[in-house]
Amino acid sequence: SLPSMVCGLIGSGIQASLTPAMHEQEGEAQGFRYVYKKIDLDPLGLTADDLPELLTAARRMGFSGLNITFPCKQAIVPLLDELSDEARALNAVNTVVIRDGRLIGHNTDCSGFAEGFRRGLPGAKMDRVVQLGAGGAGAAVAHAALGLGARQLTVFDIDPARARELAASLCARFGAGRCIAGNDLATAMAETDGLIHCTPTGMAKLPGLPLPAELIDGRIWVAEIVYFPLETELLRVARAKGCRTLDGGGMAVFQAVGAFRHFTGLEPDAERMRAHFLSM
């Protein structure tokens, strides 16, 4: 019989997630039986407080790994035996490997954005980068941007305190001055090499542009993390101006590529996973 494996995704409101299908199809293509369960807290009447019980159950039932999403990415951290450097720095985990009863936390949102960026925008100039959004996804992406070599990242958020906190924690890790909380978007956009978008604006349920179109100059690159829809208004406007662009499918696919690698120890076919993602 074929080798088999069970993994899962723990979070709230995850019924529409494409992650399980991406994992199962890649597992099948690599010749093993891979079941990837959605463990949706809402219908179970559970919260992040119930994570210890779910982790015990997953260990006892022979799960090889778990992805962790909203609202559990921080709550899971103190329950793990080991953390990767990135997971520790972000204090956020989206991938837990279960090996010999031990729980090892990783963050493939961060590495996933970086991998998508390197492939999708090779050679992008990164002396100055502007990022919109300093929430959970924004923190992972900002971390990735500095790791990719952004010399100075200017972060904006509707909650200025949140932008300041993220900037302070990134400076502590990457060096003073590498990240600043912005206050004048027009000036920052006039001086930037690229724009990274990490707010929910542009999602199907929240259509629109996250900044005035006239602030986007055709010489900059634009990276999006919204992937539903894949073609956001921001990307449409940016392309029309001649910008190089990266859509949000990169991060969605490469967080799964990274998790698959951690769970299985096998190298996934990223192109095949992206093609499958696009077909759904």
- Catalytic residue numbers read 73
Would residue 217 be called left, alpha or beta, if left means φ above 0 and alpha means ψ between -120 and 50 degrees? beta
* Of residues 152, 149, 154, the one with CA closest to residue 164: 154
CB of 262 to ligand SKM, least distance (A): 11
* Of residues 183, 247, 248, 240, the one with CA closest to residue 217: 240
Q: Whose Cβ is closer to ligand SKM: residue 109's or residue 115's?
A: 109
Site residues (vs ligand SKM, CB under 6 A): 9, 14, 17, 19, 67, 69, 94, 109, 255, 259
The separation between the first and the last C-alpha atoms of the chain, rounded to the nearest angstrom, is: 29
> CA triplet 69, 259, 144: central angle to 5 degrees?
75
> CA triplet 265, 115, 26: central angle to 5 degrees?
45
Q: Whose Cβ is closer to ligand SKM: residue 90's or residue 132's?
A: 90
Q: Whose Cβ is closer to ligand SKM: residue 238's or residue 270's?
A: 270
CB of 8 to ligand SKM, least distance (A): 11
Bridge-based pairing of strands 221-224 and 244-246 is: parallel
Q: Whose Cβ is closer to ligand SKM: residue 14's or residue 97's?
A: 14
CB of 72 to ligand SKM, least distance (A): 9
CB of 9 to ligand SKM, least distance (A): 6
